[in-house]
């Protein structure tokens, strides 16, 4: 593994998943790999779960960490090659990333989509530059289109709880009050459409189709109730439209997950990446039911990150 | 000890005090307790002393730490059970606290009073929810009504300097330019009214009576000069009214501690939790006198926190 | 070494330089010095390089670290002795620094100039108070007039790359879009005018003369092209006027460093402390040329800090 930005970077996902499960069983047992290493974490927008789970993962591994809130410090970067920098931005991303690479052994970076310029977002313009200028391995802490650590944590959660060899996993769109990025659903599709022991179904209202690059021909079922039939796992998440980019086309409250929806499943476990708008995306009764794995899933963010750090550092 | 939120949680305070003094004598001698542990520190309002002393305490113990400035990140939490979260707050406190418990072994949290809704503040509505949803031990880094780590540090300071077996300790109200919470004086009363080798006296202008729940029948003397007579220790602090909740009733500059006030004491040592408004609450001549313990007292915040961390982590 | 605030504090600079080079060769080899120590880093204005390189230096040394963004937390300090603190500032610098000294073994502090009150800035009024009230060694992370860690990193960079025993080093003023402090050029002069194997030349437009206290009679050549002739190293940097304090007198784009300028040198290596306004101060072609040492120079900030920390901690 050179960098970690998508499912493809995980290489042999089965080996990586196995590594994560072994690390979870013995979280402090790999400090010979992490000792005298430093991970740098750069956030261009706020973060809670990613920031804290990444720190815990580093600490478990005996690795030091620093965090830079690039956004909060109002530190603006010039992105254009050849720019005459006589305006607002104080530093070129070329220099910033090269320099920060001097201060760590792995660099975790969170960028975010504009939700306005689809070509720019889906071209991963900012992240591509970061990969270009970094001289240490880079971990995506969420980019404009993907959130691979979240999906890896989702996979760990399903793998460690699945009641049988083959499971049906449903990703369902859910209502929200704001226009959200497609990163989490894109990434969930990027991962779960590749898992050979998963029957993967996506359900959403018409118009919320995701980029086919990520859905990879997975089954799309517009009828949510039909999609949920016999599901072993349901992951709910809101996203804005990819086709009418960044738009909220409709927000039908009937799509909010309730016990009535869950009753159509095969006693499914419930997943959500959090934060969740309770009683808008999903009802309390689902979130607080015994089958809700949301806290365990958030906890697995630690072991997803720790497995990736372990993989990137062990060769250094 | 399950959590640390008040004097009552300290259980046998003599044992905890003894532990703190032993840790102070040998601050790095307990790292077998703290190794491979992480303390999470969440601040809903700014902090300097609490933040830094908590970090130093963790480091002394070989424990890792992360800090989340919940306020600065404008990350708003829904507090109401059953809320339909279609407004501003992005995450329910139930989920936030449960998730953060996944990323640490002990959680330190600072909340703050409204100073407007007394029932809400004195019901410790926010802190109670945090205790309810946390799955790891919780340390109060100051709540709406109490600041137990400060009082414990005050106790360490008195214990390690007291010139005789039995001492008179006076808490005196002092003028200020703003309306301040009652946390520090409440907590000082909560602790010092329980110490069997302390004669405890509270003095303040009429109208600044504290909640009797904390003063526990301690002697209240409205005449500051009479209260100071024969004192071995004087702790000065401003607070707003509990009865006329959050109000500044009067701000008589005669209550500012000066050498003339201290002359009535038994050569008393001076205490203040800091920050102090010099020459408003207390004159320079008192703060900078040889008998001023304010820096030592601030230093003891480290050992108060370290003893509490030690106690909460040693059973894990 | 008691504190580290200027070239003079380095004592025997040759020994300190040698120490830095040895540490760079074996960055984790000195943890017996740093273990169980904590460095506190206080920033009164934003920082990227200094913050991250200081953290990396501490981590390399096995030392813990905390960071306080004094500016971002809107925490204002009273500076005046004897002040009646009934205005905005919440804490006196006397108390803040004394208290923070309780929470670390070395204190790094960054202050900044007003660029309006020259006497106040060049009197280092704030930094002098910090040195007065600190009870642990203090490292300047940049003060109103100097940036010694930057200059030490510059010296390490020149020392480890110099092609011959004696080298010509040129500091050239460069255009910019804002009025910048004189700290970096002052400090560069403070150090490089003292290095016995360096022929040091300063070049800038008339009116940009630096404080003679720092240039110490170094050669000043107003003709940039003449100054660059035969240079082995060129450090470019903008600064505002010292004589017409804080003013931008002129901003002649002909002073921007380009390959044509560099062609007059003796195949000089290029230095800049970063951040750099590309194509305003220096052209891309110079910054991205093989002879550009800017990233290595930024990397050496780690070893400059680590050598200073090592020196200050080894006696404790």
Rounded Cα–Cα distance for residues A151 and A10 (Å): 12
State whether C114 and C43 are in the same domain: yes
- Note the pTM of the prediction, 2 decimals: 0.97
pLDDT digit string (tens) for chain A, length 316 residues? 999 999 999 999 999 999 999 999 999 999 999 999 999 999 987 788 999 999 999 999 999 999 998 865 556 899 999 999 999 899 999 999 999 999 999 999 999 999 999 999 999 999 999 999 999 999 999 999 999 999 999 999 999 999 999 999 999 999 999 999 999 999 999 999 999 999 999 999 999 999 999 998 899 999 999 999 999 999 999 999 999 999 999 999 999 999 999 999 999 999 999 999 999 999 999 999 999 999 999 999 999 999 999 999 998 8
Q: Which residues contact C294 (CB under 8 A, 6 or more apart)?
A: A95, C270, C271, C272, C274, C276, C287
Q: How far does the CA of residue C99 sit from the closest CA of chain A (Å)?
A: 24
A279 reaches C (C-beta below 8 A): no
Run of H or E including C69:
strand C64-69
State whether A104 and A218 are in the same domain: no
Give A96's contacts in chain C (Cβ within 8 Å).
48, 275
Taking an 8 Å cut-off on Cβ atoms, the answer to whether B280 and C85 are in contact is: yes
- pLDDT tens, C80-135? 999 999 998 999 999 999 999 999 999 999 999 999 999 999 999 999 999 999 99
- pLDDT tens, C173-186? 999 999 999 999 99
State whether A94 and A69 are in the same domain: yes
Q: How many domains does chain B have?
A: 2
Chains with 3+ CB–CB pairs under 8 A to B are A, C
Asked if pLDDT for residue C46 goes beyond 80, the answer is no
State whether A35 and A70 are in the same domain: yes
- pLDDT tens, B181-204? 999 999 999 999 999 999 999 999
Task: Using DSSP, state whether C150 is helix, strand or coil.
Answer: helix
State whether C262 and C305 are in the same domain: no
Taking an 8 Å cut-off on Cβ atoms, the answer to whether B102 and A275 are in contact is: no
Asked if pLDDT for residue C40 goes beyond 80, the answer is yes
C41 reaches B (C-beta below 8 A): no
Q: How far does the CA of residue C72 sit from the closest CA of chain B (Å)?
A: 9
State whether C49 and C135 are in the same domain: yes
Please tell me whether the peptide bond between A275 and the residue prior to it is cis, using omega within 30 degrees of 0.
yes
State whether C293 and C171 are in the same domain: yes
Confidence grade of residue C71 (pLDDT, cut at 50, 70, 90): low
Give B40's contacts in chain A (Cβ within 8 Å).
52
Mutate to test the interface with C, among B23, B238, B277, B284 (most CBs of C within 10 A): B277
Q: Is residue B209 part of a domain?
A: yes
Give C91's contacts in chain B (Cβ within 8 Å).
48, 274-276
Q: Is residue B2 part of a domain?
A: no
Q: How far does the CA of residue C165 sit from the closest CA of chain B (Å)?
A: 45
Taking an 8 Å cut-off on Cβ atoms, the answer to whether C279 and A68 are in contact is: no
Taking an 8 Å cut-off on Cβ atoms, the answer to whether A84 and C279 are in contact is: yes
Q: Is residue B115 part of a domain?
A: yes
**What CATH number is given to the structural domain containing A37?**
3.40.50.1370
Q: Is residue C2 part of a domain?
A: no
Model pLDDT, residue B217: 81
Q: Which of B141, C273, C236, C275 is nearest to A73 (CA)?
A: C275
State whether B293 and B197 are in the same domain: yes
- pLDDT tens, B22-51? 999 999 999 999 999 999 999 987 788 999
Q: Is residue A1 part of a domain?
A: no
Give A52's contacts in chain B (Cβ within 8 Å).
40, 66, 68, 100, 103-104
Rounded Cα–Cα distance for residues B113 and B132 (Å): 19
B274: nearest CB among C64, C75, C95: C95
- pLDDT tens, B121-173? 999 999 999 999 999 999 999 999 999 999 999 999 999 999 999 999 999 99
Q: Is residue A124 part of a domain?
A: yes
ipTM over 0.85 threshold = yes
Range of the domain at A28: 7-146+301-313
A95: nearest CB among C177, C276, C302: C276
Rounded Cα–Cα distance for residues C123 and C121 (Å): 5
Per DSSP, helices labelled H in B255-293 are 259-262, 284-287
Give B102's contacts in chain A (Cβ within 8 Å).
53, 295, 298-299, 302
State whether C293 and C160 are in the same domain: yes
State whether B14 and B116 are in the same domain: yes
Give A72's contacts in chain C (Cβ within 8 Å).
72
Q: Is residue B50 part of a domain?
A: yes
State whether C207 and C293 are in the same domain: yes
Chains with 3+ CB–CB pairs under 8 A to C are A, B
Q: How far does the CA of residue C113 sit from the closest CA of chain B (Å)?
A: 24
Model pLDDT, residue A76: 82
Q: What percent of chain C has pLDDT over 70?
A: 98
Q: Report yes or no: A58 and A309 within 8 Å, Cβ to Cβ.
A: yes
Confidence grade of residue B178 (pLDDT, cut at 50, 70, 90): very high
Give B95's contacts in chain A (Cβ within 8 Å).
274-276, 278, 287, 294-295
Tell me the average pLDDT across B253-277: 98
Tell me the average pLDDT across C71-86: 83
Asked if pLDDT for residue B71 goes beyond 80, the answer is no
Task: Using DSSP, state whether A315 is helix, strand or coil.
Answer: coil
Q: Is residue B1 part of a domain?
A: no
State whether C292 and C155 are in the same domain: yes
Confidence grade of residue C76 (pLDDT, cut at 50, 70, 90): confident
Taking an 8 Å cut-off on Cβ atoms, the answer to whether C56 and A38 are in contact is: yes
Sign of CA pseudo-dihedral A99, A103, A106, A109: negative
């Amino acid at each position: 593994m050179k960098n970690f930005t998508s499912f493809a970077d995980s290489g042999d996902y089965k080996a990586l998943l196995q590594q994560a499960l072994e690390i979870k069983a013995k979280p402090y047992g790999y400090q010979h790999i992490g000792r005298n290493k430093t991970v740098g974490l750069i956030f261009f927008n706020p973060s809670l779960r990613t920031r804290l789970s990444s720190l815990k993962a580093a600490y478990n591994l005996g690795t030091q960490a620093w965090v830079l809130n690039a956004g909060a410090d109002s530190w603006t970067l010039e992105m254009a090659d050849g720019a005459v920098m006589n305006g607002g931005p104080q530093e070129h991303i070329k220099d910033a990333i090269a320099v920060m690479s001097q201060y760590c052994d792995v660099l975790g970076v969170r960028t975010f989509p504009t939700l306005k310029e689809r070509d720019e977002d889906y071209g991963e313009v900012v992240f591509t530059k970061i990969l270009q200028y970094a001289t240490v391995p880079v971990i995506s802490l969420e980019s404009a289109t993907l959130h691979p650590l979240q999906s890896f944590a989702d996979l760990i959660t399903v793998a460690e709880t699945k009641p049988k060899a083959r499971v049906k996993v449903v990703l369902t769109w859910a209502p929200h009050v704001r226009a959200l990025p497609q990163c989490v659903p894109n990434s969930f599709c990027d991962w779960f459409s590749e898992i050979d022991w998963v029957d993967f179904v996506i359900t959403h209202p018409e118009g919320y189709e995701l980029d086919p690059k990520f859905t990879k021909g997975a089954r799309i079922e517009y009828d949510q109730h039909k999609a949920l039939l016999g599901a072993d796992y349901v992951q709910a998440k809101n996203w804005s439209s990819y086709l009418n980019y960044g738009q909220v086309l409709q927000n039908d409250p009937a799509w909010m997950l309730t016990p009535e929806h869950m009753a159509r499943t095969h006693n499914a476990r419930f997943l959500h990446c959090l934060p969740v708008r309770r009683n808008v995306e999903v009802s309390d009764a689902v979130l607080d039911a015994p089958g809700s794995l949301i806290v365990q899933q958030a906890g697995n963010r630690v072991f997803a990150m720790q497995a990736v750090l372990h993989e990137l550092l062990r060769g250094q």
